[in-house]
Amino acid sequence: MTASDDLAAVLALEQIDRNLYRGTIPSSASDRKALYGGQVAGQALMAAGLTVEPERLPHSLHGYFLRPGLTDRPVILHVDRDRDGRSFSARHVSAIQDGEVIFSMLASFHSTDAVSTLDAMPPSEVAPPDKCPPYAIDRLVEVREVTISEVVDGRQLFTDCVWTRAASPLPADSLTHACALTYLSDLGSGFGRMTGKVGNGGPSLDHAMWFHEPIRADEWVLLHMWPKKATSIRGLYDGTMRNESGRLGAVLAQENLLIHR
């Protein structure tokens, strides 16, 4: 099994056959109990993107985390080419380990000039990256926390706002950067700062992203998340990903299990 400390290598899939790909595992995967969800989602989006025309870039994805990923074997990615229209392409990707689907994604691609006409969500006023403390996630990315992961009154709180970027340069193509943003989008939690009866962390259930203006994932990206609704033990949160100049690269929504820590 191939392992790597480079995000570009983790996203550069091996083609096994038509519509069938194999992903590289990060060297740091063995430090986790299960595969990092952003890795599986980023590789699934790359597999889908490799089956569409190069001028068509991802504009949205919707994924479901079905089983914990195994850290001692690669992910096999099978792509169904659902539709190729005049300006949109739709793909369904199944991420498979040990004969079982661990993640299922629908992704849509569109030919666009990505010129922004409206941004109704103003950028957040936060400290710049060089004023924020570093936090170790894995060797593939750099993270600087705007809100701090800390223990308060005996309870573990997590960050809900970080600056992050790939730890090494990425290829210039927009597909790789969209997949790298997907990798970064699963850091932290919109419920990370919650206290009281609402839990503040747990496994991801489903994940959605909408891509807007292209931004580079090997330059600082502000990932800002906030809670929206907690029902039973499920929590839904929203988020945005912007570059240092405030350009909106992606909007995300995720539902996860809420666990008291």
Q: Which of 28, 94, 204, 206 is catalytic?
A: 204
Domains of the chain as residue ranges with CATH: 3-110+128-257 (2.40.160.210)
Task: Specify whether 17 is catalytic.
Answer: no
Cα(first)–Cα(last) distance of the chain, in Å? Answer: 34
Task: Specify whether 254 is catalytic.
Answer: yes
- Give the pLDDT confidence of 26-82 residue by residue, as tens digits: 888 878 889 999 999 999 999 999 999 999 999 999 999 999 999 988 999 999 999
**pLDDT (tens digit, 0 to 9) for every residue of the chain, 261 residues total?**
567 889 999 999 999 999 999 999 888 887 888 999 999 999 999 999 999 999 999 999 999 999 999 998 899 999 999 999 999 999 999 999 999 999 999 999 998 765 667 888 888 889 999 999 999 888 899 999 999 888 887 778 888 999 999 999 999 999 999 999 999 999 988 888 877 677 777 788 999 999 999 999 999 999 999 999 988 789 999 999 999 999 999 999 999 988 776
Q: Which of 89, 108, 189, 254 is catalytic?
A: 254
Task: Specify whether 97 is catalytic.
Answer: no
Q: Model's pTM, two decimal places?
A: 0.94
Q: Which of 6, 160, 186, 218 is catalytic?
A: 186
